[in-house]
Amino acid sequence: MTAATESTVNGAIGQSPKRVEDDRFIRGMGNYVDDVQLPGMLHMAIYRSPFAHATINSIDTSRALAMPGVVACITGQDLVAHGLAWMPTLAGDTQAVLATDKVRFQGQEVVCVIAKTSYQAEDALEGIDVDYDPLPVIVDPKRALDADAPIIRSDLEGKTDNHIFTWESGDAEATDRVFAEADIVIKLDTLYPRIHPAPMETCGAVADYNKATGKMTIHLTSQAPHAHRTLFAMVAGLPEQKLRIISPDVGGGFGNKVPIYPGYVVATAASLLIGKPVKWVESRTENLMSTGFARDYHMEGELAATKDGKMLGLRANVLADHGAFNAQAQPSKWPAGFFNIATGSYDLQAAHCKVDGVYTNKAPGGIAYRCSFRVTEAAYLIERLVDNLAHETGIDAAELRKQNFIQPEQFPYKSPMGWEYDSGDYEKAMNIALELVGYEELRKEQAEKRAKGEVMGIGFSSFTEIVGAGMSKICDIAGLAMIDSAELRIHPTGKGVLKLGVQSQGQGHETTFAQIVANELGIPYTDIAVEHGDTDHTPYGLGTYASRSTPTGGAATAIVARKLREKARQIAAHLLECAPDDLEFDSGTFTVKGSPEKSKTIQECVFGAYQSDLPDDMEKGFEDVTYYDAPEMTYPFGTYICVVDIDKGTGQVKVRKFVAVDDCGTRINPMIVDGQIHGGLTQGFGTAMMELISFDEDGNCFGGNFMDYLIPTAVESPDWTLGECTTPSPHHPFGAKGVGESPTVGSPQAFVNAVVDALHPYGITNIDMPLSSHKVWKVLRDAGVTDE
């Protein structure tokens, strides 16, 4: 990496200007998919299955068709004629667009109604009559593998069970040897439950087919508009040059807007067939019940160690519940994502993991919710095991971690399951966190409280992330290398536009990416307009998820700006009649070394690029494009510490303090980084304390609205105390690593570790999330603890 120069230009890296996009959001002038209104636009609503598993005998849409305003009813059989009844998933499975043979989860799409108004479409759902024969239901993934379990995917030829894949990583034999020699083996059987990203804006599309030009424009809630364009072209056979995806303002994605959903496909097919724009925007219930859920990992972990706390090896066996279709969104070669980052921040001798995916009668997924492909589950497992090892050995949880951290001089560090960590200084981040939380005092207080019968706990998480996918040699989606891009054009007056392959769902790209240009070219960030999300007007890229925008698109932006800086240098040398090497560049001005009075600003150089007086071998204009293929992943890390007090009467857990020290390398806009961390910590808090999509034995979903699917608000969220540590990435152009997902990856286990630490004196070694008051209450009462 080239160290970022300390630029004084307005908005350069390290400054915290306010987000330029907030002006329109705060005024209610954002433009979301549901804001799109087109002449003659029709509306679509989806009739969904009330059963989790049932044969479809017949579908009768005649009553609905007779209702006011109804234009068409589309069934799975109608799509068969166009080859669209089934679609491929990003994971290489197939998924029903509209059910033809049977329904496989409650809420599955069966019939689409197209009507003149959204109310008429909704009314007509009551006129759809489907005759079902209910089938036995599989809810428990462990039961899914029983010999007598009903076969959910009877559509797959020759399928005789509900098993999807087995994926292994690491060295099983070496791991066995390490375990055989270990003094202590800590075992943990835990469920990372099924949760949902629940973005504020639900998913939707407006498909607009122009019969005259043959052009299909789709306004789509998409985190990856370019990849979606290619997939639409491949699946629906639409010519890619006549396909335009516009992902306008998007109200949160968190991975939920990476997959392609049946509603998108049917709205597009309907517009193509009817020749009018068709809008589909799902309700909150539809979003929670049918779109990409996350996690649902049943994990058995084992950690081998010596009696004095030297960690030796890790073993993990995972049962992954993917629901009715394997619709997870991971790089194609990674069926369990990067779960093999599970050795985390620790220098282990050997490790092995095995993941089995299974089908159940639940909504399909699972997507990487604010998570770089299963790193959330991996970080949870290792950090829970380490805290339990601390309890088992009696070694302080902070001390134990320090003893086992990968040391700064070991980077680049090759992990036992094959990753090469770029950089890290784990103890430094840990020490900052210990200082911020006042660790020694807290442990004293805890001892005093325990003596009085009060219940208090302190939990740690010293996580390592793997983000920025990245690395076309190992990462692709449906064959598309996971590159990203930036196109920069500066107009004659020195103000310009940056076009990105990545897309923003609230991350603040219109500010931070302009800041990268400000830093590299010395043009104030307010002079750079950032465009993204429209495939007709931006260069190709794989999109925004997995904390990859800054590692990939950010790198591309810095590189394209540097290319143009070199062009500006040539122009400045020409204008100042000196050699390019004689020029120094600082904060937007080229100065002749030793002659400070001889200088040209970047704006003068840009204007020069559009004038007649240019070097003979130089093209006019001031623009360039870069496609960036990351050489390595980046590895953000941090230490989080959570302090809880527990009410013995009610089991309520109160988070008294939460300290988060993140190292995401160079921070472009520290205020936006803090905002990202606040948001992610709050989502991690929700995951740990309250979020859950559960089902009864018939596959009825509990969690289809915000009365049942609980997400935290400002009222219950704790205060967050943030600390900072900076270890720049050695291979990223300006040392950034990506931060969006660190807090959701890093925080849930800190809450759980704190509660387990509090309850450890009562013999508790595990409580699965969410940490409901009644679960804590039961632990206390079972241990004979009364309310006084």
Candidate residues 403, 587, 652, 766; the one interacting with another protein per rule CB under 8 A: 652
Helix (H, G, I), strand (E, B) or coil at 583: strand
* Pick 69 or 150: Cβ nearer another protein: 69
For 412: left if phi > 0, alpha if psi spans -120 to 50, otherwise beta; the answer is beta
**Separation in Å, CA 715 to CA 356, 430, 711:** 39, 29, 11
Piece in contact with another protein (CB under 8 A), picked from 161-169, 306-314, 608-616, 647-655: 647-655
* Pick 154 or 773: Cβ nearer another protein: 773
Measured distance CA(766)–CA(753) in Å, rounded: 9
> Are 151 and 53 in contact, with CB atoms under 8 Å apart?
no
Q: At its nearest, how many Å lie between another protein and the CB of residue 690? A: 6
Measured distance CA(634)–CA(414) in Å, rounded: 13
**How far is it between the farthest Cα atoms of the chain?**
88
Q: At its nearest, how many Å lie between another protein and the CB of residue 290? A: 14
Annotated active-site residue in 371, 605, 701, 725: 371
Candidate residues 173, 597, 707, 763; the one interacting with another protein per rule CB under 8 A: 707
DSSP state of 346: B
715 binds another protein (CB under 8 A): yes
Piece in contact with another protein (CB under 8 A), picked from 3-11, 77-85, 426-434, 705-713: 705-713
**Amino acid (1-letter code) at residue 746:** G
Is 725 catalytic? The answer is: no
Q: At its nearest, how many Å lie between another protein and the CB of residue 756? A: 20
* Pick 232 or 695: Cβ nearer another protein: 695
Q: At its nearest, how many Å lie between another protein and the CB of residue 346? A: 35
Measured distance CA(343)–CA(313) in Å, rounded: 8
Both structure tokens of 757:
């630490």
Piece in contact with another protein (CB under 8 A), picked from 258-266, 529-537, 658-666, 698-706: 698-706
Candidate residues 23, 448, 778, 783; the one interacting with another protein per rule CB under 8 A: 778
119 binds another protein (CB under 8 A): yes
Annotated active-site residue in 153, 194, 244, 370: 370
Measured distance CA(349)–CA(175) in Å, rounded: 8
680 binds another protein (CB under 8 A): no
Candidate residues 77, 694, 697, 762; the one interacting with another protein per rule CB under 8 A: 694
781 binds another protein (CB under 8 A): yes
Q: At its nearest, how many Å lie between another protein and the CB of residue 708? A: 6
Q: At its nearest, how many Å lie between another protein and the CB of residue 649? A: 4
* Pick 69 or 408: Cβ nearer another protein: 69
Both structure tokens of 138:
């599989």
Helix (H, G, I), strand (E, B) or coil at 355: strand
> Are 605 and 568 in contact, with CB atoms under 8 Å apart?
yes
Q: At its nearest, how many Å lie between another protein and the CB of residue 202? A: 10
Candidate residues 259, 344, 541, 651; the one interacting with another protein per rule CB under 8 A: 651
Q: At its nearest, how many Å lie between another protein and the CB of residue 664? A: 30
For 647: left if phi > 0, alpha if psi spans -120 to 50, otherwise beta; the answer is beta
* Pick 126 or 308: Cβ nearer another protein: 126
Is 371 catalytic? The answer is: yes
Is 223 catalytic? The answer is: yes
Both structure tokens of 576:
């100042």
Taking residue 623's Cβ as centre, other Cβ atoms within 10 Å add up to: 18
Candidate residues 214, 237, 453, 649; the one interacting with another protein per rule CB under 8 A: 649
697 binds another protein (CB under 8 A): no
782 binds another protein (CB under 8 A): no
Annotated active-site residue in 384, 570, 741, 749: 741
671 binds another protein (CB under 8 A): no
Measured distance CA(457)–CA(422) in Å, rounded: 34
Piece in contact with another protein (CB under 8 A), picked from 237-245, 264-272, 557-565, 775-783: 775-783
Query: What distance lies between CA 224 and its chain's CA centroid?
Result: 12
Helix (H, G, I), strand (E, B) or coil at 206: strand
712 binds another protein (CB under 8 A): yes
Candidate residues 55, 285, 393, 601; the one interacting with another protein per rule CB under 8 A: 285
708 binds another protein (CB under 8 A): yes
34 binds another protein (CB under 8 A): no
**Which of 367, 362, 364 shows the shortest CA–CA distance to 326?**
364
- Residues 288 to 347: which contact another protein by CB under 8 A? none
Size of the site for another protein (CB under 8 A): 31
Both structure tokens of 278:
């068709």
**Separation in Å, CA 326 to CA 183, 200, 234, 245, 577:** 40, 25, 19, 25, 63
Strand 420-421, strand 413-414: pairing: antiparallel
Q: At its nearest, how many Å lie between another protein and the CB of residue 184? A: 35
774 binds another protein (CB under 8 A): yes
Taking residue 25's Cβ as centre, other Cβ atoms within 10 Å add up to: 13
Measured distance CA(512)–CA(530) in Å, rounded: 9
403 binds another protein (CB under 8 A): no
* Pick 25 or 119: Cβ nearer another protein: 119
Piece in contact with another protein (CB under 8 A), picked from 130-138, 148-156, 248-256, 281-289: 281-289
> Are 49 and 131 in contact, with CB atoms under 8 Å apart?
no
* Pick 308 or 708: Cβ nearer another protein: 708
Candidate residues 51, 232, 254, 777; the one interacting with another protein per rule CB under 8 A: 777
Q: Is 212 exposed, middle or buried (0-12, 13-18, 19+ CB in 10 A)?
A: exposed
Write out the E strands in 117-249: 129-134, 163-170, 184-195, 204-210, 215-220, 243-246
Q: At its nearest, how many Å lie between another protein and the CB of residue 694? A: 7
Helix (H, G, I), strand (E, B) or coil at 433: helix
Candidate residues 26, 57, 650, 762; the one interacting with another protein per rule CB under 8 A: 650
Q: If you count them, how many residues does the chain have?
A: 788
700 binds another protein (CB under 8 A): no
Measured distance CA(446)–CA(448) in Å, rounded: 5
Q: Which residues, 6 or more positions from 28, have their beta carbon under 8 angstroms from its beta carbon?
A: none
Q: At its nearest, how many Å lie between another protein and the CB of residue 654? A: 13
Taking residue 401's Cβ as centre, other Cβ atoms within 10 Å add up to: 27
772 binds another protein (CB under 8 A): yes
* Pick 66 or 474: Cβ nearer another protein: 66
Candidate residues 7, 61, 118, 742; the one interacting with another protein per rule CB under 8 A: 118
Q: What is the DSSP string of 506-568?
A: SS-HHHHHHHHHHHHH---GGGEEEE-SBTTTS-----S-TT-IIIIIIHHHHHHHHHHHHHH
Annotated active-site residue in 95, 108, 120, 223: 223
Is 37 catalytic? The answer is: no
Measured distance CA(650)–CA(780) in Å, rounded: 10
Both structure tokens of 342:
């599970």
Measured distance CA(75)–CA(538) in Å, rounded: 36
Q: At its nearest, how many Å lie between another protein and the CB of residue 128? A: 14
710 binds another protein (CB under 8 A): yes
Give the helix ranges, DSSP H, for 593-747.
602-609, 670-689, 742-746
* Pick 502 or 771: Cβ nearer another protein: 771
Q: Which residues, 6 or more positions from 635, have their beta carbon under 8 angstroms from its beta carbon?
A: 421, 422, 423, 424, 464, 465, 466, 467, 729, 737
773 binds another protein (CB under 8 A): yes
Could you list the residues that contact another protein (CB under 8 A)? 118-119, 122-123, 283-285, 649-652, 690, 692, 694, 702, 705-708, 710, 712-713, 715-716, 772-774, 777-778, 781, 787
> Which positions are annotated as active-site residues?
223, 370-371, 741
